[in-house]
Structure 1
């Protein structure tokens, strides 16, 4: 029978053994084992003293190594882009420094694959084990089968090492740097300008705006004398309430120019956006920027314009006018810095610059926490799904997890008992894979014509807002020709650097559903008759809403604009009578 002394002594040994894995990389194995042997034969007080000193020394050693780890696992990603502004195309160089960069994450994924499929734990995958590797380097799924042999390269030995698995992961995940476009706001997704542009000249005149309500009336599906964003959507009758349709693809002003294919796409887009020769086959030299300040050097035929071939040479030259540096840090705030010529912004949470006639805000965020959030979420769902509380999930309980994969893909050993550890490994793998990229998300922040006209921001346009709209557009009409072009609307963009995002935890992922229906404000001021007649809550009473006679309406409508506003209602001496 063990006495208390032996129990305490054994506890010390258990603590030491459990700590061995933690400190084995920091302290030589010989020293560690020697300390353990000595402790087994020393009094309790000596054991406590020696073990305390040992912990302090090893912890200090490990902390010293930890300080080096971020530097060792950090990565720098460099990329060349072209920003196409409303006025000019601007070449940009992007450098992103990340603690535990994408390549380190990909090595971790390779190690996780090895651990998951190495049944005999010999540190490599045999032919049978490698055949079970999921395609596309996922945590689970259809196995590679004989296709795994194409991965056996370093060396060819009928097995796969962790290095070969790393190559496999890199091939499947693709380039380290990725770009994404933030889904547009509701007002950016409506077909609005074509409805007002009666002469199809891509300009909105004051006359077209004044007559706009008549042309928009067919879109007023609920017949409330106001047109909402939802009503202006494509196929609005098929739209599900409180959800919003958006275009399948969104235009972007940013294009990579690191490969021949990317250069070709960027050049074509520049010609489409900035070409003004009637055919879109060339652009004026003045609409192109270069680091030398002399874009004309690419004008081979000296005609003052750059055609497709000349633009290709310009893009391939990679002469950035602007250099953006972002740091995605783990233990300190992420920062961005912009350098243009001799001007450099301080490194901070965000920075701003004007590019090609557009205002651009740049920021960086370390979203590593999304990986932890994802794991925690599914752990909670596991507890909820385990209805019989037997510690594992059966296939009938699996749907509660709301995973988009079949049960057998998550049940790694196929025993029909999905343990929490199996689920955690699966979720962590996908979360790490998402963050094995550096992502640049581009979002448009400038106000649309609809938003400029929507003076009370209730996501609908009323008769008064349409009639008075051009006075609010005076600041937009920069050439004072009483016509507004799309290019005159303020262009404002936001660049956000981060690791790959899980849209389930992204604030932009669900933003669309929150902003679909008109934001109606209750009418709490004015006479009771005024509040009751204003059925569409736009602050005005139209002739259709008015319950009195035409003579009474004309009398109350002091400015004869066919609308009775709050001031006119308050000025009335007594409520109107009903219509005769």
Structure 2
């Protein structure tokens, strides 16, 4: 091989290696996550009442690379432009009267016209109707299985410290007596339900509090609302923790803070603890102990992302490991995070109604009369859908209505709290008859000892293998409102079986069919009851009844008449 040929060959190989290296670099750059455009987001503060410390969690939410409030603004501006027939950039009184938006918006405009018949510009229109879109971020609680619904833990937790102490266990029977509404000396599922009403086993709205919204151990703080009650709740739950005496304030240990600067930020009097007034300052502008970020698509084809970051001000750049799901440890709790993708759901809604239109269009003229449109079961009146008011509904008019309803729904983001736990009710219900008898409540400590992980004689919800799953999703269209879709047929009443053990008189006295006799059920005198109750636990068992009867003649009634 000549020298020239060798040099050409070397140059060719070098060029090839260079091109491969460049291609590899480009491929690596493509794999690196990067923001396609500057991302804007909204901040919300979630307070988690963990067993030992409160946790302030910053939620940073972006939808289509913009804050959710931008969606609301754009929707209202679109409705304004549709109603502005003369393109004057303001809605005259007649245009307001002809407004064909959702019924709740029409009602709000009607109220405005009744008070003052004046035109509205774009800004006034948006400000007037923004409240009709609902709260930007809502909180709600997901109901669990029927047997998990009874809130026994909180009912036994007499002092409200989220821990069950031995004293509370020992008085379990006494604490639960007040829930025995049918006075049969047992507690069934219905009696210990959180709410005494017919069950709706679907999603329940959160509890409204002065400071925001509450669902389980989570509170979504609204900075616009007063926070005195929330400050008092923090003191009641965490003051005196970690073997400290209660002093009406929370120090760094009680708050679970390792950053001394956080205490100094709110500590006006410099005593290294926060009193009630200083806690109010804290709640007005809380620190971010944890920062959770989520990106959701709507119009754009983006991948749903959730990730946790160390600094709320760091660049919005999701890691490659991020996805729509994550499992996070917060204190002693396991919390699952799920961010739902709304795009397929809204697409399904539109497809469903378009297919329904074709099915109902019997004469195949591409229009539905009011009678033909009846089975659509839409929430809006026919006139609201019939844009040109010709008493016929076209496919385009139906699609426009469905898309608008979907847009309105997309203006609300919900965090659903699903509490999954080892049911305390089911653990104590030894015979699985969906009720708790006195014997099952006599010594619950022994049954639950295996759950006391740290062996301190107390039981916390994390030790009960309780986990929370938080789902973030845009509100589904009201067209598919399925409020009562839960399994309301689940049986919740007790399973009663006539006892077969014990003598005849014993079975006749056992009015609640739990297999034991209490003093109230026993028809004889007290001294006779005590003779039968050989172990002194306040109950006569079938064995005690048979043993005592075999050693003495006559039934309790006969003995009482002697």
TM range (shorter): 0.5 to 0.7
Deviation, 1:310, is 0.9
Q: Distance in 1 between matches of 2:129 and 2:289?
A: 35
Equivalent in the alignment of 2:504: none
Q: C-alpha offsets along residues 25-54 of structure 1, whole Å, 9 cap, x if unaligned?
A: xxxxxxxxxxxxxxxxxxxxxxxxxxxxxx
CA distance in 1, matches of 2:77, 2:158: 62
Distance in 2 (alpha carbons) for counterparts of 1:307 and 1:180: 29
Which residues of structure 1 form unaligned runs of 5+? 1-69, 153-159, 523-539, 545-559, 565-580
Counterpart residue number, 1:181: 140
- Tell me how far apart the structure 2 counterparts of residues 252 and 348 of structure 1 sit (CA, whole Å): 26
Match of 1:271 among 235, 239, 242: 235
Residue matched to 1:307: 275
**1:233 matches 2:193:** yes
Distance 1:503 1:420, change over 3 A: closer
Task: Give the corresponding residue for 1:77.
Answer: 42
Q: CA offset at residue 123 of structure 1?
A: 8.3
Q: Call closer, same or farther: CA 1:491–1:305 in 2, change over 3 Å.
A: farther
Counterpart for residue 322 of structure 1: 290
Superimposed CA distance per residue, residues 197-251 of structure 1 (whole angstroms, 9 cap, x where no aligned partner): 89999756554457899x5994679x8x985423533786x637x8699798364
CA drift at 1:354: 3.3
Q: Which residue of the other structure, out of 424, 427, 434, is the alignment partner of 2:409?
A: 434
Look up the match of 2:552: none
1:66-465 equivalences under 5 Å are 75-99=40-64, 101=66, 102=68, 105-106=71-72, 109-110=75-76, 112-114=78-80, 116-119=82-85, 125-133=91-99, 143-144=109-110, 146=113, 149=118, 151-152=120-121, 170=130, 172-173=132-133, 177-185=136-144, 186=146, 189-190=149-150, 192=152, 205-209=168-172, 215=177, 218=180, 228-233=188-193, 239=198, 249=207, 251-257=215-221, 259-261=223-225, 266-275=230-239, 282-290=249-257, 292-297=259-264, 298-301=266-269, 305-329=273-297, 331=301, 333-340=303-310, 346-382=321-357, 392-396=367-371, 399-453=374-428, 461=436
User: Alpha-carbon deviation of 1:515?
Assistant: 4.6
**Alignment of 1:492 onto 2:467:** yes
Which stretch shifts more, 386-395 or 317-326? 386-395
Q: Partners of 2:190 and 2:250 in 1: how far apart? A: 38
Measure, in 2, the Cα distance between the counterparts of 1:194 and 1:257.
Answer: 23
Q: What is the CA-CA distance between 1:99 and the residue it aligns to?
A: 2.1
Output the TM-score relative to the length of structure 1.
0.59
When structure 1 is superposed on structure 2, of 431-440 and 489-498 the one drifting more is 489-498
**Structure 1's 517 and 285: CA in aligned 2 closer, same or farther, altered over 3 A?**
same
Q: 3-state DSSP class of the match of 2:328?
A: strand
Q: Conserved in 2, the CA contact under 8 Å of 1:184 and 1:443?
A: yes
List runs of 5+ in structure 2 lacking aligned partners. 1-34, 208-213, 313-317, 498-512, 518-538, 544-562
Can you list the C-alpha shifts for 1:438-494, whole angstroms capped at 9, x where unaligned?
433333334453244357988655788657854442144467575656796555322
Give 1:435 deviation, angstroms: 0.8
Q: Does the residue aligned with 2:488 lie in a helix, a strand or coil?
A: helix
Three-state SS of the structure 2 residue aligned to 1:495 is strand
How far apart, CA to CA, are the structure 1 residues paired with 2:398 and 2:81?
15
- TM-score w.r.t. the length of structure 2 is 0.61
Q: Is contact 2:59-2:293 (8 Å) kept?
A: yes
2:143·2:201 contact (CA, 8 Å) conserved in 1?
no
2:141–2:418 Cα contact (<8 Å) kept? yes
Aligned CA distance change for structure 1 residues 108 and 138 (closer, same or farther; 3 Å): farther
Distance 2:159 2:236 in 1: 22
| Conserved? CA contact 1:109–1:169, under 8 Å | no
RMSD: 5.3
CA contact (8 A) 2:156 2:169 kept: no
Note the C-alpha offset of 1:135.
7.8
Distance 1:379 1:71 in 2: 34
Distance verdict in 2 for CA 1:285–1:194, change over 3 Å? closer
Q: Equivalents in 1 of 2:127, 2:203: separation in Å?
A: 40
Offset, 1:289: 4.2
Going from structure 1 to structure 2, the CA distance change for 1:460 and 1:418 (only over 3 Å counts) comes to farther
Tell me, in whole angstroms, the C-alpha distance in 2 between the residues paired with 1:313 and 1:271: 14
